[in-house]
Amino acid sequence: MVAGSVSGDTLRYVTTNSGKVHEAQSYLDSDVVESLSYDYTEIQATSLRPIATTGAHEAYQYAGSPVLVDDAGLFIDGFDGFPGPYSAFAENTLGIETIQRVAETELDAPRSASFRCVLGYCDGEAIESSTNEYTDTIIGSDAPPVKLFTGEVSGQIVSPRGDGGFGYDPIFEHNGMTLAERDAADKNDISHRGRALKSFAEWFQTRWFINMHVWKSSLFWR
Stretch of 3-11, 106-114, 131-139, 159-167 lying at the interface with ligand ITT (CB under 6 A): 159-167
Who's near 159: CB < 8 A, 6+ residues apart?
100, 104, 171
197 near 119, Cβ under 8 Å? yes
Dist. CA 33–CA 6, nearest whole Å: 11
Does position 145 bind ligand ITT by CB under 6 A?
Answer: no
The residues in 68-107 that bind ligand ITT, with binding defined as CB under 6 A, are 70-73, 87-88, 91
DSSP string covering 157-209: E-S---SSS-TTGGGEEETTEEGGGS-HHHHHHHSHHHHHHHHHHHHHHHHII
Who's near 136: CB < 8 A, 6+ residues apart?
49, 130, 147, 148, 150
Residue of minimal Cβ distance to ligand ITT: 167
CB of 217 to ligand ITT, least distance (A): 29
Nearest to 158 by CA among 36, 76, 89, 87: 76
Q: Which of 1, 11, 12, 15 binds ligand ITT (CB under 6 A)?
A: 15
Q: Which of 169, 173, 188, 195 binds ligand ITT (CB under 6 A)?
A: 169
Among candidate residues 71, 123, 136, 169, the one labeled active-site is 71
Does position 190 bind ligand ITT by CB under 6 A?
Answer: no
DSSP label at residue 216: -
2 near 34, Cβ under 8 Å? yes
Name the residue nearer to ligand ITT (CB basis): 192 or 205: 192
Name the residue nearer to ligand ITT (CB basis): 130 or 159: 159
Q: Which of 167, 201, 208, 220 binds ligand ITT (CB under 6 A)?
A: 167
Q: Give the gyration radius of the chain's Cα atoms.
A: 17
113 near 172, Cβ under 8 Å? yes
Stretch of 27-35, 59-67, 144-152, 164-172 lying at the interface with ligand ITT (CB under 6 A): 164-172
Name the residue nearer to ligand ITT (CB basis): 67 or 138: 67
Per rule CB under 6 A, count of chain residues that contact ligand ITT = 19
Does position 17 bind ligand ITT by CB under 6 A?
Answer: yes
Q: Is 9 part of the annotated catalytic residue set?
A: no
Dist. CA 98–CA 50, nearest whole Å: 28
Does position 20 bind ligand ITT by CB under 6 A?
Answer: yes
Instruction: Write out the catalytic residue numbers.
Output: 71
The residues that touch ligand ITT, with contacts defined as CB under 6 A, are: 15-17, 20, 39, 70-73, 87-88, 91, 165-169, 179, 193
